[in-house]
DNA sequence: TTGTACGCGTTATCAA
DNA sequence: TTGATAACGCGTACAA
């Protein structure tokens, strides 16, 4: 028993197993994969040799011969907040269940994104890409290529399978709820970066209801820190809005922190809402009113769609929208006890 | 221009590029990799053909020829909390910078972990594995194999490179600080699962200072929810401890929630401390006293150590401990204004 | 400066 | 039931 591994460099090969078992490599392959007939005692010999040599087929050899990598990739901007991590959890779980490995790529602050994506594309059978993580032309290149592709949180796009959570209706419902609290002057904090992305849909939905009563204000990023900084300016000066509708929960948590810092009460002095329903939204004080988005399910469905695409099970529905749910807690305004 | 990709199945091959450019595959390879001499105009022709055909070398072919995967793996239990995600961020960043892809594997709730790890091991040049994610015999198998291996948050182990944050001293410092607040009856919530893991070191350090004054209490998991449930029982009954020292921040946040639910004030009625200094620790109310652990750095150093191991730059220090820092906020007890 | 040809580790076809 | 052997796509001595 020598402790060599079957990794590419200097690993045990199928030839050594074959020699040790006194058979040909074809027989070893058949015995291991269960393809084709193998006599019971022959199989025994082979399995023994495999065990003694600790043989694992070289993945590169298998990939080359099989014509597939048995791996899928996923591209996201970063993993700092809960959102992408949650989606990744769902994606990894399903992909792994389907017998494929998961290769990740974070694009945040990295330069030739095109090269990185190409490199990744070359080692997987399919790719899931978050909207807004990759320049449009690179997406175009991917779409043009024959590589199975799913775009997460992305608007419908011809030639690609897209997937996202519902934004517009939930945004309307949220705006209506806030107006019901009697708020009149709103700010949408975390203004959208790109037309058609998730945040843009939320903004459009909110504006459709509130019209000129809501003003968009940008943040540097969709993070707690950015929300905090933006809110210090927003809430500290004159003309403080009555309600701050945030692009997402992290920004909203930053606003709550800023309000506390400024000695303002949420929701009495200012109402705050988020989006996503990350875990901290429930734990925040006051509890954060938000829109729940099925983050893991988003990743899981992306993985399943990709699998179907790879297995070429016909053309599948090219766009899918997952349901969301308004979660009313205490940050949006006072509710009568026993009510909603 | 035909939109075929260079993925394994049916991709454009180097032969087609060579034919189109009117050269041999050797020249194409040289032109692309910069190995060996190529005439300027020849290179032009090759690059043009590459662009027109959208050629990307098949990763499987390259891996087989080069004898390396240009990919590293990482094994963790799950990605639910910030801890593993943060370490992963550091790991991915450095690994990517070093020109390698990152393949992830989550073991939580998955069954033949040994098979999954073997599968992963077969497609990477090196592996980072969190302590306690993989059965001991599987770790043994990995150590015995020739695959470069780094164990994160793991005790020193002959034959493997290990890496962890400092626990014992910080735990002592924390315990001493708490005793300084006048607390006398302690619970360590989130009792260790395994001897020698991070939490065990924390527990040992705390007990070394507090002796019989501290009692270990287990939680189902190291999560907010588990901490919450455990704390409901712990704080709701008789004999409530004066201070709850938690295995990590998430459990501690659960305790704070439970205290609030029970109408108890932190730190007045009960002091609470965590470990890790995740972002929510700062945002919690009261601010959570904790021990800061350099999570990203842990991942980054694991990646670098693995790289050195792979490039065979001699035997490197086989165990490394990263510094931690006691972060005193308000959850551990009242501090004089202007103090600490 | 360029091309031929072999090797990398598998899978799978086709004879035997 | 088994064994030669031809792909698979690429890198690279070695020869030209």
pLDDT in tens, B319-335: 999 999 999 999 999 98
Same domain, B7 and B93: no
For residue B333, is it within any domain?
A: no
> What pLDDT score was predicted for residue B160?
85
CB count within 10 Å of CB B323 equals: 12
Which positions 171-210 of B are in contact with A (Cβ < 8 Å)? none
For residue B222, is it within any domain?
A: yes
> What pLDDT score was predicted for residue B313?
65
* Sequence-ordered list of residues with C-beta below 8 angstroms from that of B336, at least 6 positions apart, any chain: none
φ and ψ at residue B119, rounded to 5 degrees: -55, -45
Same domain, A141 and A195: no
Cis check: omega of the bond before A299, within 30 degrees of 0 = no
| Range of the structural domain that residue A103 is part of | 71-164+295-322
CB count within 10 Å of CB B201 equals: 22
**Nearest partner of A274 among A164, A178, A132, A162, judged by Cα:** A178
* DSSP annotation of A69: -
**Nearest partner of A262 among A252, A274, A270, judged by Cα:** A270
Check if the beta carbon of residue A120 is closer than 8 Å to that of residue A105. Answer: yes
Question: pTM for this structure?
Answer: 0.93
Cis check: omega of the bond before A61, within 30 degrees of 0 = no
> Which residues of chain A are modeled with pLDDT < 70?
1-10, 313-317, 338-340
Distance between alpha carbon B96 and the CA centroid of its chain, in Å? Answer: 15
Check if the beta carbon of residue B193 is closer than 8 Å to that of residue B132. Answer: yes
* DSSP annotation of B72: E
Check if the beta carbon of residue A332 is closer than 8 Å to that of residue A271. Answer: yes
Count of alpha carbons within 13 angstroms of residue B7, beta-carbon side: 26
Same domain, B184 and B272: yes
For residue B120, is it within any domain?
A: yes
Which residues from the 47-76 window of protein chain A have CB within 7 angstroms of nucleic acid chain C? 55-58, 60-62, 64-66
Token duo for residue B294: 């350099």
pLDDT single digits (tens) B152-173: 999 998 878 999 999 999 999 9
Same domain, B307 and B158: yes
**Residue A57 is part of a domain; what is its CATH number?**
1.10.260.40
**Nearest partner of B199 among B141, B140, B151, B155, judged by Cα:** B155
* DSSP annotation of B288: P
Q: For the packed helices A136-144 and A113-121, what is the interaxial angle rounded to 10 degrees?
A: 20
Same domain, B126 and B156: yes
**Residue A252 is part of a domain; what is its CATH number?**
3.40.50.2300
Q: Can you tell me the distance from the alpha carbon of B285 to that of A137, in angstroms, rounded to the nearest whole number? A: 46
For residue A331, is it within any domain?
A: no
Query: Based on the structure, what is the number of domains in chain B?
Result: 3
For residue A287, is it within any domain?
A: yes
| Biggest CA pair distance of chain B | 86
Q: Can you tell me the distance from the alpha carbon of A104 to that of A73, in angstroms, rounded to the nearest whole number? A: 6
Closest partner residue to B60 among A63, A79, A101, by Cβ?
Answer: A63
> What pLDDT score was predicted for residue B173?
98
Same domain, A288 and A306: no
Same domain, A61 and A126: no
Token duo for residue B292: 């800061």
**A339 burial via Cβ count (<10 Å: 0-12, 13-18, 19+):** exposed
Same domain, B253 and B268: yes
Q: Decide if A58 touches B, using CB distance below 8 A.
A: yes
Same domain, A278 and A301: no
Same domain, A136 and A195: no
Which positions 91-120 of B are in contact with A (Cβ < 8 Å)? 92-93, 96, 101-106, 110, 116, 118-120
State how far residue A233 is from chain B, nearest Cα, in angstroms: 19
For residue B340, is it within any domain?
A: no
| Strand C reaches within 7 A of the A29 CB | yes
DSSP symbols for A32-45: HHT-S---HHHHHH
**Beta carbons of A7 and B61 less than 8 Å apart:** no
On chain A, the residues whose CB falls within 8 A of the CB of B89 are 78-80, 106
Give CA separation, B160 vs B4, B125, B144, B151, in Å. 43, 15, 9, 7
Check if the beta carbon of residue B285 is closer than 8 Å to that of residue B102. Answer: no
> Which residue is listed with tokens 């934004």?
A167
Indicate the average pLDDT of chain B: 91
> Which residues of chain B are modeled with pLDDT < 50?
1-10, 339-340
Same domain, A176 and A274: yes
In the beta sheet, which residues pair with residue A187?
A: A215, A244
For residue A328, is it within any domain?
A: no
Same domain, B121 and B264: no
For residue B334, is it within any domain?
A: no
Q: Can you tell me the distance from the alpha carbon of B161 to that of B312, in angstroms, rounded to the nearest whole number? A: 13
């Amino acid at each position: 028993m020598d402790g060599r591994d079957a990794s590419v460099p200097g690993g045990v090969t199928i030839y050594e197993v074959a020699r040790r078992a006194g058979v040909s490599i074809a027989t070893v392959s058949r015995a291991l994969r269960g393809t084709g007939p193998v006599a019971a005692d022959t199989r025994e010999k082979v399995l023994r040799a495999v065990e003694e040599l600790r043989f694992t087929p070289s993945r590169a050899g298998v990939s080359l011969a099989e014509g597939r990598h048995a791996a899928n990739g996923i591209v996201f901007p970063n993993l700092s907040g809960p959102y992408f991590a949650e989606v990744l959890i769902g994606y990894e779980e399903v992909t792994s269940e389907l017998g494929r490995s998961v290769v990740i790529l974070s694009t945040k602050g990295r330069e030739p994104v095109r090269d990185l994506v190409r490199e990744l594309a070359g080692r997987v059978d399919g790719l899931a890409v978050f909207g807004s993580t990759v320049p449009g032309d690179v997406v175009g290149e991917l779409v043009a290529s024959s590589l199975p592709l799913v775009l997460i949180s992305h608007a419908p796009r011809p030639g690609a399978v897209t997937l996202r959570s519902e934004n517009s209706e939930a945004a309307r419902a949220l705006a209506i709820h806030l107006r019901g609290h009697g708020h009149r002057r709103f700010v949408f904090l975390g203004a959208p970066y790109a037309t058609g992305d998730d945040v843009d849909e939320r903004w459009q939905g909110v504006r459709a209801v509130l019209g000129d009563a809501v003003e968009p204000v940008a943040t540097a990023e969709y993070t707690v820190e950015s929300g905090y900084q933006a809110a210090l300016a927003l809430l500290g000066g004159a003309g403080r809005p009555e309600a701050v509708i945030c692009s997402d929960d992290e920004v909203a948590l930053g606003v709550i922190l800023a309000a506390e810092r400024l000695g303002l009460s949420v929701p009495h002095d200012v109402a705050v809402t988020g989006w996503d329903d990350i875990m901290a939204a429930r734990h925040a004080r006051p509890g954060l009113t938000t829109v729940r988005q099925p983050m893991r399910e988003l990743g899981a469905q992306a993985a399943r769609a990709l699998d179907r695409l790879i297995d070429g099970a016909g053309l599948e529905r090219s766009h899918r929208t997952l349901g969301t749910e308004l979660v009313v807690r205490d940050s949006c305004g006072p509710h009568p006890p026993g009510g909603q």
